[in-house]
Amino acid sequence: MRLPVASLLLVLLSACLATAAKKTSPSRTRPRAITKRQNSLFISASGGDFHHNGSRFDFVGTNAYWLASLNNDKDINDTIQSIKAAGIKVIRTWAFNGSSPVPYSPLEILTRRQDVDEIPVNGTWLQLIKNGTFTVNEGPNGLQRLDKVVELAEQAGMFLILSLTNNWNPLPGIDNTTATQALERRDVTVGSNNTLPRNFLSNDYGGMDVYVRQLTESKTHDEFFQNQAIINAFKNYTTQVVSRYINSPAIFGWELANDARCNSTLPSAPTCVTTIVTSWHADLSSHVASVDPNHLVASGTHGFACMSCPKLFPLNPPPKPQPSPAPGKKVRRVVPLTKERLLRERTDLMKRNRAARIRSEGSSAGGIKIRGRWLASHTARQSDSSPGSALDGAHGVDSQDILNIPTIGFGTFQLFPDQNVYGPDDPSLPPFNNTLQQGIQWIQTQSQLAQAVGKPLALTAFGLVTQQNAPAFVPFNTTTAPFASEAASSTPPPGNGTAVGGISSAFGVSPAEQDSAYSQWLSTSLQNAVGGAMQYQWTQEGLTPAPGTTISTPTNDNTLGTAPNTNTLGESPNDGYGISSTGADGIQGILSNAAASIGRV
């Protein structure tokens, strides 16, 4: 890859800064004698692809945000080893924990006093944010747990994408100005209502809103991207985490934040626009790259983009044509994605679907069991002249502008059709086929957006909720499972839709539909210019439970709402996307087959 002079200088400067950072970093940083030759063992990006050890590196991955919160080293090792055994090369996990709350009194909520967070009795915590001060836990129940994850990944020859904060940390009672009940907040007290174990949910690890609640008066989410005190504190945290692993070959790359957006549970100020979020990414990616010049930095955004917003990093000059691929290699046609082209392709696809439907009218077409889709049914049809909320800047994120930041090394996007709208529904298709097709189009669109920038791209998380998993499903902006009680009262449909313990729900797809979607999304990713696709999320059995930790005993607090307890002792968290016991072989097999199809180990 040819680097402009400016980037080269930046790299050199970064190297100096990194040396400085290393000197001041704690002794627990495990310095390694890394020779120049070994540097190819770090993942790099060139020609729109990931590279490792001298060759192109495409991968299938999975998510296990809870890895650092497991109760012992063996559990971490077993999880990494079983993921490896499935042929998976990359694991995405949380490298943050802004701390979670202790019970608040209703009075504290009413008077909106400053949040008080407290160190938990048991379990892992990485950073305590309390009363305007920040304490990073470098002890055995702190960053040393993350050290262990990295060390065991190194030993297994596995890679980690480490995410540095989360957009989501819902605390309904705290963030709701009219709330009067302490009950409404996240309550992890054993025996109380909503007693999901601490850190059971991916959004229970702190995140941007912890900083906002602690440090601002306005309590608007976008302060995270703009308030200098918050930015300094977050840089401080990232320095301390990132500097520990500068020399580790197990770090695939850093992800600045999971799913950054203008809004979270806390709303944004009306002034929050894409350029604000892009500026933050430019600042933070440059910071992380200066601390760690060895590893790639990514945004971690959902892929939301804006086809007609002002750009801070415009695509200029247009990308050079790709060299023609060797026989048998992927053909890369870089045609810039415009709004007009996107809308034309959508219209053409809808025409084809309609024609196909007319041809099969009267046959058994449409015999697919139609299952209610929550939220996505809000889509309705978008106006023909709009690319829709995923691509018009409605979320305050322009992932393509972010990807073109010089210190951003690769693109990221996610795919969760149960919770996000990616495009208009096609009236000629049954609901499941709409989900399937919109996922395929989302992947293709993301691939086009990234190719125009000329950087590699990873689908860092994708998932679809099944009927079996629906009772456990907790959307990312909530703390409770909306379909938990429905499952408890519903009679399982005949044939399929029956899970272990007889739990099922009218919400969600069948296991066969999930298999079909995952297979097609994986193959679409790998056939397009997507370097890696990561299923959300891994399930690990046989973990060691301990009270007051992520892996608790089922009789205490593994119950979701009023649903019957379905967790076996020592099973990793399931937020609706876990690979349920019944479907484990299916999804694992699909991931393994996709990994094998890449033709590299």
Ligand X SMILES: *[C@@H]1O[C@H](CO)[C@@H](O)[C@H](O)[C@H]1NC(C)=O
When binding is defined by CB under 6 A, the residue of 19, 39, 236, 338 that contacts ligand X is 236
Residue 374 contacts ligand X per CB under 6 A:
no
Long-range contacts for 403-406 (Cβ within 8 Å, ≥24 apart)? 403/299, 403/449, 403/450, 403/453, 403/455, 404/311, 404/313, 404/314, 404/315, 404/453, 405/278, 405/281, 405/282, 405/285, 405/313, 406/6, 406/7, 406/10, 406/313
Binding flag, residue 474, ligand X (CB under 6 A) = no
Q: Is 577 in the site for ligand X (CB under 6 A)?
A: no
Q: Should residue 226 be labelled a site residue for ligand X when binding is judged by CB under 6 A? A: no
> Pick from 586, 587, 465, 457: which is nearest to 526 by CA?
457
The yes or no reply on residue 417 touching ligand X (CB under 6 A) is no
Amino acid identity of 159? F
Site for ligand X contains 496 (CB under 6 A) = yes
- 377 near ligand X, rule: CB under 6 A: no
Q: What Rg do the C-alpha atoms of the chain give, in angstroms?
A: 23
When asked if residue 265 is in the footprint of ligand X (CB under 6 A), the reply is: yes
Q: Which of residues 503-522 bind ligand X (CB under 6 A)?
A: 511, 516
User: Going along 411-500, which residue ranges are E strands?
Assistant: 411-415, 457-462
The least CB distance from residue 365 to ligand X, in Å, is 5
- Residue positions counted in the chain: 601
Omega into 537 within 30° of 0, i.e. cis? yes
From the list 25, 63, 99, 559, which residue makes contact with ligand X (rule: CB under 6 A)?
99
Among 216, 275, 477, 519, binds ligand X (CB under 6 A): 477
- Between 437 and 466, how does the x/- string for binding to ligand X read (CB under 6 A)? ------------------------------
279: contact with ligand X by CB under 6 A: no
> Based on CB atoms, which residue is closest to ligand X, 108 or 322?
108
Asked if 524 touches ligand X (CB under 6 A), the answer is: no
The CB-of-2 to ligand X minimum distance in angstroms stands at: 24
Closest distance of CB 12 from ligand X, Å: 26
Q: What are phi and psi of 17, to 5 degrees?
A: -60, -40
Classify residue 28 as exposed, middle or buried by CB count within 10 Å of its CB (0-12, 13-18, 19+).
exposed
Are 41 and 52 contacting, i.e. CB atoms less than 8 angstroms apart? Answer: yes
CA 505 to chain centre: 25
**Least distance between ligand X and beta carbon 338 (Å):** 23
Shortest Å distance, C-beta 422 to ligand X: 16
What span, in angstroms and rounded, lies between the C-alpha atoms of 134 and 275?
Answer: 28
Q: How big is the CA angle at 87 (ends 399 and 518), to the nearest 5 degrees?
A: 55
CA 54, 56, 62, 66 torsion: positive or negative? positive
Residue type (1 letter), 412: T
Taking CB under 6 A as the criterion, which residues in 142-181 touch ligand X?
155, 170, 172, 176, 178-181
Which tokens is 90 given?
């990359």
Least separation, in Å, of the C-beta of 385 and ligand X?
Answer: 20
With CB under 6 A as the contact rule, the residue among 89, 281, 395, 455 that binds ligand X is: 395
Is 192 near ligand X (CB under 6 A)? yes
**Beta carbon of residue 11, minimum distance to ligand X (angstroms, whole number):** 23
- Comparing every residue's Cβ against ligand X, the nearest one is 548
Which of 139, 336 has the CB closer to ligand X?
A: 139
Shortest distance, CB of residue 491 to ligand X, whole angstroms? 15
316: its two tokens: 């200029």
Nearest residue (CB) to ligand X, 10 versus 421: 421
List Cα–Cα distances, 240 to 46, 98, 209, 487, 527, in angstroms.
28, 14, 20, 44, 38
CA 456 – CA 475 distance, rounded (Å): 29
- Considering the complex, what minimum distance in angstroms separates the CB of residue 432 from ligand X? 6
Strand pairing partners for 136? 127
- Closest separation in Å from C-beta 217 to ligand X: 15
Half-sphere exposure (CA, 13 Å, Cβ side) for 586?
Answer: 17
Closer CB to ligand X, residue 295 or residue 454?
Answer: 295
With binding defined as CB under 6 A, does residue 293 bind ligand X?
Answer: no
Rule CB under 6 A: choose which of 205, 304, 410, 518 binds ligand X. Answer: 205
Segment near ligand X (CB under 6 A); pick from 15-23, 198-206, 400-408, 414-422? 198-206
Site size toward ligand X (CB under 6 A) is 63
Q: Are 473 and 418 in contact (CB under 8 A)?
A: yes
Residue closer to ligand X, measured from CB, 54 or 314: 54
Q: Please list, residue by residue across 280-310, b when 16 or more beta carbons sit within 10 angstroms of its beta carbon and e when fewer do.
A: bbbebbbbbbbbbbbbbbbbbbbbbbbbebe
In the bound state with ligand X, the residue whose beta carbon lies nearer, of 155 and 338, is 155
Q: How far is the CB of 168 from ligand X (least distance, A)?
A: 9
Does position 431 bind ligand X by CB under 6 A?
Answer: no
Give the amino acid at 101.
P
Residue 122 binds ligand X (CB under 6 A): yes
| Cβ-based nearer residue to ligand X, 452 or 507 | 507
Within 324-363, the residues that bind ligand X by CB under 6 A are none
- By the rule CB under 6 A, 72 interacts with ligand X: no
Residue 565 binds ligand X (CB under 6 A): no
- Classified as helix, coil or strand, 121 is coil
Is 231 a residue that touches ligand X (CB under 6 A)?
no
Spatial CB neighbours of 362, under 8 Å, sequence gap ≥ 6: none
Round to whole Å and give the CA distance between 95 and 170.
19
Containing 452, the helix (H) or strand (E) segment is helix 431-453
535's enclosing H/E stretch is strand 532-535
Nearer residue to ligand X within complex by CB, 131 or 377: 131
Write b or e for each residue in 410-436: b if 16 or more Cβ atoms lie within 10 A of its Cβ, otherwise e.
bbbbbbbbbbbbbbbbbebbbbbbbbb
Residue closer to ligand X by CB (options 19, 155) is 155
Q: Which residues bind ligand X (CB under 6 A)?
A: 41, 53, 68-69, 77, 81, 97, 99-100, 119-126, 128, 131-132, 134, 136, 155, 170, 172, 176, 178-181, 192-193, 198-199, 205, 232-233, 236, 262-263, 265, 267-268, 272, 365, 368, 394-396, 429-430, 433, 436, 477, 495-496, 511, 516, 546-548, 582-583
